[in-house]
A and B are shown apart, each in its own frame.
Chain A
Amino acid sequence: MKSKKKSSKFRLVDGFLLIMMIIPIAFGMTLHILFNPPSNGIEIAGPLVYFTIPMPIQPLPISESQVNSWLLLISVFFLCLYLTHGISAKRPTKRQHIVEWGIEQIDKLVSDNMGEFFKDFAPFVAAIMILSAFSSLMTLVGLYPPTSDLNIVGGWALLVFILITYYKLKCGFVHYLKSFAEPVAFLTPLNVISEFATPVSMAFRHYGNILSGSVISVLVAAALQGLSSMVLGKLPGFLGQFPLLQIGLPAVLSVYFDIFSGLLQAFIFAMLTMLYISSGFPEEDYRQKLKRKVTAN
Chain B
Amino acid sequence: MYSSEVISVNIWQMIISIANLLILFFMLKKFLYKPVQSMLARRQEIINNDFEEARKAKDDAEKSRKKYNEKLSAAQAEADVIVSDAKAKAQRKSDKLIANAKEKADEIMDRAKADAELEKKKAEADIRNEITEVSTLLSEKILEREINKDDHRKLIDSFIENLGDSYDGNQ
What residues of chain A have their CB less than 8 Å away from a CB belonging to chain B?
A: 35, 37, 44-50, 55, 57-58, 60-61, 63, 65-66, 69-70, 73, 76-77, 80-81, 83-84, 87-90, 96, 99-100, 103, 122-124, 126-128, 130-131, 149-156, 158-159, 211
Contacts and interface: CB of A to CB of B under 8 A. Distances in A.
Given A47-B4, A61-B4, A151-B10, A84 B25 contact: no
B9 to A, nearest CB: 7
A159 B20 CA distance: 11
B47 to A, nearest CB: 9
A266 to B, nearest CB: 13
Contact of B12 (A58, A81, A123, A124): A58
16 contacts: A35-B1, A45-B6, A47-B4, A69-B16, A69-B17, A69-B20, A73-B24, A80-B28, A80-B31, A81-B31, A84-B31, A90-B43, A99-B32, A152-B14, A158-B18, A211-B6
B166 interface: no
A46 B23 contact: no
Contacts of A45: 3-6
A176 B1 CA distance: 47
Given A61-B10, A128-B21, A159-B21, A87 B35 contact: yes
A100 B28 contact: no
Given A57-B11, A127-B21, A158-B18, 11 more contacts: A44-B6, A50-B1, A69-B20, A84-B35, A99-B32, A131-B20, A149-B13, A150-B9, A151-B17, A153-B17, A155-B21
A69 to B, nearest CB: 5
B16 A155 contact: yes
Question: Which has the most chain B C-beta neighbours within 10 Å: A44, A103, A151?
Answer: A151
Which 10 pairs of residues, A with B, have the shortest CB-CB distance? A155-B17, A151-B13, A45-B3, A155-B14, A60-B12, A89-B43, A46-B4, A80-B31, A89-B42, A127-B25
A157 to B, nearest CB: 9
A126 B23 CA distance: 12
Given A48-B1, A50-B1, A89-B46, A151 B32 contact: no
B32 A80 contact: yes
A89 B103 CA distance: 91
B24 to A, nearest CB: 4
Nearest to B11: A58
A89 B39 CA distance: 5
Question: Which has the most chain B C-beta neighbours within 10 Å: A60, A65, A155?
Answer: A155
A95 B40 CA distance: 15
Contacts of B1: 35, 37, 48-50
Contact of A49 (B3, B15, B18): B3
Name B's interface SS: helix
Interface in B14-68: 14-18, 20-25, 27-29, 31-33, 35-36, 39-40, 42-43, 46
A152 B24 CA distance: 14
B28 A46 contact: no
Given A76-B24, A84-B36, A90-B46, A156 B17 contact: yes
Contact of B25 (A46, A63, A69, A124): A124
Contacts of A49: 1-4
B106 to A, nearest CB: 89
B18 A150 contact: no
A73 B25 CA distance: 10
A100 B21 CA distance: 22
Nearest to A152: B17
Contacts of B24: 73, 76, 127, 130-131
Interface string B75-99: 0000000000000000000000000
Contact of B27 (A76, A100, A122, A159): A76
B8 interface: yes
B142 interface: no
Interface string B131-145: 000000000000000
A61 B13 contact: yes
Contacts of B33: 103, 122-123, 126
